Amino acid sequence: MMKPKIVIGNWKMNKDFEEAEDLISTIEDELADFQLQTEVVLCPPAIYAELVTDHASEEGSNFYAGLQNVSEYENGAYTGEISAEMQASMDVSFCIVGHSERRKYFGETDEIVLKKMHRLLANDIVPVMCCGETLEERKAGKHFEIVEKQIESTICTLTPEELERVMIAYEPIWAIGTGETATPEQAQEMLAFIRSLIEKKFGTQLAVFTYILYGGSCNAKNALELFSQPDVDGGLIGGASLKADEFIKIIEAAETVIKDN
Ligand code: PGA
Residue 179: the pLDDT is 83
CB of 131 within 6 A of ligand 1: the answer is no
CB of 230 within 6 A of ligand 1: the answer is no
Distances (CA, A) of 58 to 63, 163, 208: 10, 29, 32
Q: Please state whether the predicted TM-score (pTM) of the whole model is above 0.85.
A: yes
Residue 251: the pLDDT is 97
Q: Which helix (H) or strand (E) holds 193?
A: helix 184-202
Beta strands in 69-165, from DSSP E residues, in sequence order: 94-97, 126-131
CB of 220 within 6 A of ligand 1: the answer is no
* pLDDT (tens place) for every residue of the chain, 261 residues total: 778 999 999 999 999 999 999 999 999 999 997 789 999 999 999 999 999 999 999 988 999 999 999 999 999 999 999 999 999 999 999 999 999 999 999 999 999 999 999 999 999 999 999 999 999 999 999 999 999 999 999 999 999 999 999 999 999 999 988 888 889 999 999 999 999 999 999 999 999 999 999 999 999 999 999 999 999 999 999 999 999 999 999 999 999 999 988
SS3 label, residue 142: coil
Residue 87: the pLDDT is 98
CB of 238 within 6 A of ligand 1: the answer is yes
Residue nearest to ligand 1 atom 2, measured at CA: 238
Contacts 24+ apart (CB under 8 A), 18-23: 20/44, 20/45, 20/48, 20/51, 21/51, 23/242, 23/244
What's the CA-to-centroid distance between 120 and ligand 1, angstroms? Answer: 22
Atom of ligand 1 minimally distant from the CA of 240: 3
Residue 60: the pLDDT is 86
Catalytic site positions: 99, 171
Residue 177: the pLDDT is 86
